[in-house]
Amino acid sequence: MPKLRQLIAAATVLAGVTLADTARANDITNVASAAEAITMTSGQITVSNPGAVHVPETATFLKEVQAEEAAAKKAAEEAAKAAAAAAEAARIAEENKVVMPLANATLTSDYGEVRNIILQDGRYYSDVHLGVDYVNGNPNADILAYKKGTVVSAGVAADGASHVILKHDGHYSIYWHLAHGSIKVAVGDTVKAGQVIGTIGTTGNSTGIHLHFGISIRNQGDTVNPHDYLPD
C-alpha cells in the first residue's frame, strides 16, 4: 500500500495537482491501471500510459471530502453525546433504585403501632414501633439492601440483635434481628440495591423470625415511616 500511495502521488504531480487534491484512492479511477502505468527509477518518474490516470475536478472533489469529513465528525460527536447521556441515565437509575428488603414480604407490625408483646425469652415488652416488621415464611430468607448505600454498622447490638445499618443520601436504613453469623458486609462497604447483606433471624428483643426494617434521618435517630421510602 505505501508503494501504491507513492505511485498515486507521483501520478497526481504529473497531472499538475497537489496530493491534497486526491486525498482518497477511490476517487482515482482504475487505480490498478494507474499503478501499472507509473514506474520510478533512480528518482525519475515515467508514465507509460497517461490516460490510465484520472483526477477529478479539484474544487468539487475537495468540497465533497470536506462535507463527508464534517458529517462523519458530527455523527461521531452525536454518538458520543448519546453514549454519555445513556451512561448518566443508568447511573442515576442505579442511585435511585429501591427494592423491598425482604422478597415476598408480609407486614406483621406497622410503623407507629403501640405494642404490648411477650418476647421469645418470656419477658414483657411495650413500645411504640419505630419501624416495620416483615416475614415471608422462609426461615433462611435473604435480607437485601433496599437501596445503594454505605455500611456504617454491622454486627451485634447492645440488645443482642445482629444488624446492619446503611447510610444513604440524607437518611439511614436499619435491618434488625438478622441471624447470628449471617452478615455478609462490613463497615465501609458500598452495597447496591438488592444486594444480600444477611439472613432473616430472631436475635435480640424478638418474638420470632422476622425482619425489623427502619428508616432514620440520623443514625438510629429521628425515625420516619419506612413506607415513604419503600417501593409501592
145: domain CATH number?
2.70.70.10
In terms of average pLDDT, the best of 57-66, 114-123, 156-165, 220-229 is 156-165
Let me know whether 220 and 163 are in one domain: yes
Catalytic residue numbers, as ranges: 210
What's the pTM? 0.66
The answer as to whether 15 is a domain residue is yes
Let me know whether 122 and 60 are in one domain: no
Return the residue matching grid coordinates 442511585: 95
Let me know whether 19 and 117 are in one domain: no
Domain end marker among 18, 49, 72: 72
Greater model confidence, 77 or 123: 77
Q: How far apart are CA 198 and CA 64, in angstroms?
A: 64
The answer as to whether 88 is a domain residue is no
Return the residue matching grid coordinates 442515576: 92
Distances in whole angstroms, Cα of residue 227 to Cα of each of 15, 71, 151, 215: 80, 52, 21, 9
In single-letter form, the type of residue at position 84 comes to A
Confidence of residue 54 (pLDDT cuts 50, 70, 90): low
Range name among 33-37, 184-188, 219-223 with the lowest pLDDT average: 33-37
The answer as to whether 35 is a domain residue is yes
In single-letter form, the type of residue at position 113 comes to E
| Boundaries of domain holding 219 | 106-228
Where is 80: in which H helix or E strand? helix 58-96
The answer as to whether 79 is a domain residue is no
Let me know whether 150 and 66 are in one domain: no
Q: How far apart are CA 155 and CA 164, in angstroms?
A: 7
The answer as to whether 86 is a domain residue is no
Q: How far apart are CA 180 and CA 199, in angstroms?
A: 9
The answer as to whether 48 is a domain residue is yes
The answer as to whether 212 is a domain residue is yes
Let me know whether 57 and 165 are in one domain: no
- Say if CB 211 and CB 118 are below 8 A apart: no
Residues 6+ apart with CB under 8 A from 232: none
Let me know whether 170 and 222 are in one domain: yes
Q: How many domains does the chain have?
A: 2
